[in-house]
Amino acid sequence: MNKRYQIDDLEAYLDGLMESEKAEQFLKELEIDSSLRVDFESLKLAREGIELAAWKEMVRKSQAEFLAGRTSSKTESETLIKSISSFAWISRIAASLTLFLASALAVLFFSTSPESITSKHLDYQIPVMRSGEFELSSLEEAYQKKDFETINKLASEIDRYDAKAYFILSMVYLDQSRPESAENLLLEIEERNKSNQSKEFADQIDYYLVKAYLEQEKIRDAKTRMEKILEDPKHTYHQNFTGWDQVKIRVLEWKN
Amino acid sequence: MKLNRNLTDQELLEQIRSKSNPNQAINQLYEQHYGILENYILRNSGNQDDAADLIQEVMLVFIKLVTQGKFRGEASIKSFLYSICKNLWISELRKSKSMSARNERYEMEKNEIDLDVSEEISRNENLRFVMELFEKLGEKCKQVLTLFYFDELPMKEICEKLEFSSEQVLRNKKYKCLQSLTDQVKSSPALQSHLQKALRHE
């Protein structure tokens, strides 16, 4: 440090506290004294450095706080975007499934008809054990041969109730697309069974009534019979209907 | 800290100049201008770390110009900060050898900047070395010098705050600390060219 000017003197000049006369003298010496100029410039830099270091610390803290806040809001945004993205994916999958379901329902709705159920119906097969009675044997034979002319002739000769004859005739009516006549005969057998406390052709009646009803578009009656068959595991025709047939018959019910 | 109301440019400058609640002013500078400055650096071969380092420097140059009365709001703070940022970043790129091919293009883009600003950017380079020397001082020295030169507290208050036995002891301490820093500045090889310029009256 300069012998004549100590650090306190230089500071007094910088702070404007030096007497004017002394200040003038100082400026003159500063012009010619290079070491004084170095001292003076070093002090100025030191003082500026001290102040700037304090500002720097303040700026550093503000920046750290700002960046931390920005990172957390960025993380929140990213989390939000992720959840929105997940939600979007779930929505897309749900929308696809809904579309698929709606299409399937539309196909089901428009393609379901009574025929879609009755087409799978089994034709009645005459059991191997035959009745010994002439009329019935002839009827059975004629039924097996699908000889409707003979059947009609034999049917006109029936003068008393016979369950088997009535049943075979109802099957003939179903074959001839006369579901109403088939229904009447099948219900007649059922009534007789009730009064006789017998169960002749009971399971067959349920099964073929479903067909007779469907062909007449009596959907609700057909549905009741079908449900009866499906609810009874011991029913002869239990395996002949499925849950899918139940769905179809409900669709037909909606359509009606 | 969230601000209830944004300061106007003039209010912000005044808070920095007078050091009254400067934190609020600096926080607002960050809230309002960090994004645009960062974007400029990212668009010009920088990454986020470069941006963080450089923007801190931009803020310091800006504060220095404001406290010295070299910026009084003649232009908007936004455009002024942007201009400082561009000039500082171009200087950074020029230092990087790998970027030499791009320098000329950047040079063409370099903003016409006020001589005071340009000088301040250069002066801040030197002050970076002074701050490094300051950081190496003892903790007590740093506290004394900061409270005296930055916070501008009277000796009596500093004496109480730092629990000095007397004001005279504090004065001696302050004198020694400042003397030490000034001597280090004088003998710092990094600052020699600056001091040589002072000798040549540049």
- Over residues B134-140, the mean pLDDT reads 94
Which pLDDT belongs to residue B56?
Answer: 95
Q: Is-contact A205 A235, C-beta < 8 A?
A: no
Please report, for chain B, how many H helices and E strands are present, in that order: 10, 0
| Interface contact A15, partner B, CB < 8 A | no
Asked if the Cβ–Cβ distance from A49 to B131 is below 8 Å, we say yes
- The answer on pLDDT for A85 being more than 50 is yes
| Interface contact A74, partner B, CB < 8 A | no
Which pLDDT belongs to residue A155?
Answer: 82
**If you measure CA to CA, which chain B residue comes closest to A43?**
B182
Residue for token digits 């400026």? A27
- The answer on pLDDT for A117 being more than 90 is no
Asked if the Cβ–Cβ distance from A49 to B175 is below 8 Å, we say no
Largest CA distance in chain B: 61
Percent of chain B with pLDDT over 90: 62
Percent of chain A with pLDDT over 70: 90
Using pLDDT thresholds of 50, 70 and 90, give the confidence band for residue A62: very high
Using pLDDT thresholds of 50, 70 and 90, give the confidence band for residue B1: very low
- The answer on pLDDT for B117 being more than 80 is no
Tokens of residue A232, six digits: 């009874």
Contacts of B81 (CB under 8 A, 6+ apart): B29, B33, B37, B58, B62
Which pLDDT belongs to residue B36?
Answer: 94
Angle A43-A48-A52 from CA coordinates, rounded to 5°: 150
Cα distance between residue A113 and residue A248, in whole Å: 8
Cα distance between residue A9 and residue A1, in whole Å: 11
Distance in Å, alpha carbon of A85 to nearest chain B alpha carbon = 26
Asked if the Cβ–Cβ distance from B182 to A7 is below 8 Å, we say yes
Q: Is-contact A256 A112, C-beta < 8 A?
A: no
What interface predicted TM-score (ipTM) does this complex get? Answer: 0.87
- The answer on pLDDT for B87 being more than 70 is yes
Which pLDDT belongs to residue B108?
Answer: 44
Percent of chain B with pLDDT over 70: 85
Phi and psi torsions of B130, nearest 5°: -65, -40
For chain A, what is the mean pLDDT?
85
Asked if the Cβ–Cβ distance from B150 to A62 is below 8 Å, we say no
Which pLDDT belongs to residue B202?
Answer: 53
Distance in Å, alpha carbon of B112 to nearest chain A alpha carbon = 26
Cα distance between residue B87 and residue B15, in whole Å: 25
Percent of chain A with pLDDT over 90: 32
Best residue of B1, B30, B121, B148 to probe chain A, by most A CBs closer than 10 Å: B30
Q: Where in chain A is the domain with CATH 1.25.40?
A: 116-255
- Over residues A212-229, the mean pLDDT reads 90
Cα distance between residue B134 and residue A47, in whole Å: 10
Asked if the Cβ–Cβ distance from A45 to B131 is below 8 Å, we say no
pTM of the model: 0.58
Q: What is the DSSP string of A189-228?
A: HHHHHHHHT--TTHHHHHHHHHHHHHHTT-HHHHHHHHHH
- Over residues B37-41, the mean pLDDT reads 95
Asked if the Cβ–Cβ distance from A7 to B195 is below 8 Å, we say no
| Interface contact A52, partner B, CB < 8 A | yes
Which pLDDT belongs to residue B96?
Answer: 76
Q: Is-contact A227 A246, C-beta < 8 A?
A: yes
Cα distance between residue B42 and residue A138, in whole Å: 101
- Over residues B103-125, the mean pLDDT reads 64
**If you measure CA to CA, which chain B residue comes closest to A58?**
B23
Which pLDDT belongs to residue B159?
Answer: 95
> How is domain A116-255 classified at the CATH fold level?
1.25.40
| Interface contact A12, partner B, CB < 8 A | no
Residue pairs spanning A and B at CB distance below 8 A:
114
Using pLDDT thresholds of 50, 70 and 90, give the confidence band for residue B119: confident
Cα distance between residue A41 and residue A6, in whole Å: 13
- The answer on pLDDT for A170 being more than 60 is yes
What is the dihedral sign for C-alpha B141, B147, B148, B150? positive
How many other C-beta atoms can be found within 10 angstroms of the C-beta atom of residue A225?
Answer: 23
B154-189 residue pLDDT tens = 999 999 999 999 999 999 999 999 999 999 999 888
Burial class (CB in 10 A: 0-12, 13-18, 19+), A254: exposed
Which pLDDT belongs to residue A34?
Answer: 86
Contacts of A46 (CB under 8 A, 6+ apart): B130, B134, B178, B181, B182, B185
- The answer on pLDDT for B58 being more than 90 is yes
Distance in Å, alpha carbon of B141 to nearest chain A alpha carbon = 11
Asked if the Cβ–Cβ distance from B130 to A49 is below 8 Å, we say yes
CB < 8 Å to B185, chain A: 42, 45-46, 49
Which pLDDT belongs to residue A207?
Answer: 93
- Over residues A227-253, the mean pLDDT reads 88
Using pLDDT thresholds of 50, 70 and 90, give the confidence band for residue B115: low
Asked if the Cβ–Cβ distance from A1 to B179 is below 8 Å, we say yes
Identify the DSSP state of B19. Answer: T
Which pLDDT belongs to residue B109?
Answer: 53
- Over residues B86-97, the mean pLDDT reads 84
